[in-house]
Homo-oligomer: A and B are copies of this chain.
Amino acid sequence: MSLRAALLALLTAEPLTGYEAAKRFDSSVGHVWNAPDSQIYPELRRMEKEGLVDGVQVPWGPNSTKTRYYITEDGERAFRDWMDTPLDYGPLRDAAHMQAAYFEWADAERTRDHLRRHIAFYSGMLDRWRAAREEILDHSQRTIAARLEKFPPESHERIVAYKAFAYEGLIARGEAEAAWARRGLELIDSLETED
């Protein structure tokens, strides 16, 4: 149901076509919940069938159309319901930490590579998350701009603050991951320099 929630979240800011929604997943919600377009198109259809969104056909080319989806009142209610519902925290699944737990089975230089990749991955993500946070704070991000236009000025502070807050969580976690991997590189040096 999280994909659905992500789509509803996007549609509370502005109506979107499937393609546009898929693009937003690369820039906004996608930072916390990613999904390929092959998942998005059928999900929007299902949501339309259930009355959460309205699909409006708009012309596209001379003999073709595309569908633009508008959130309905039922859709907003469903989103609010999801927002009010506590998440259930499923079991962890973390291949990187699993692999690290058995580093004695791997070649030392490979383990260093793994950790360097870990650092590189989170460094890259940190750049994106920090940039995204900035774009939220200065309202330059597309979705947030549309959202702020739709809602009264007195709500703007909260809207922006919560999104920045979410990114801050990602950033804190990413920093923790990178720091951990850096400590790992030191650990490997101390354990694997046989002499």
Contacts of A104 in B (CB 8 A): 155, 158-159, 162
* Identical copies of this chain, number: 2
Report whether B165 and A172 are in contact in the complex, using a CB–CB cutoff of 8 Å: no
A98-124 residues with Cβ-Cβ distance < 8 A to B are 98-107, 110, 113-114, 117, 121
Q: Which of B32, B94, B99 has a CB less than 8 Å from the CB of A97?
A: B32
Chain B residue nearest to A93 (CB atoms) is: B33
Given contacts A102-B162, A165-B100, A33 and B176 within 8 Å (CB-CB): no
Residues on A lying within 8 angstroms of B by beta carbon are: 2, 5-6, 9, 12, 29-34, 79-80, 82-84, 86-87, 89, 91-107, 110, 113-114, 117, 121, 125, 155, 157-159, 161-163, 165-170, 172-173, 175-177, 179-180, 183-184, 187, 191-192
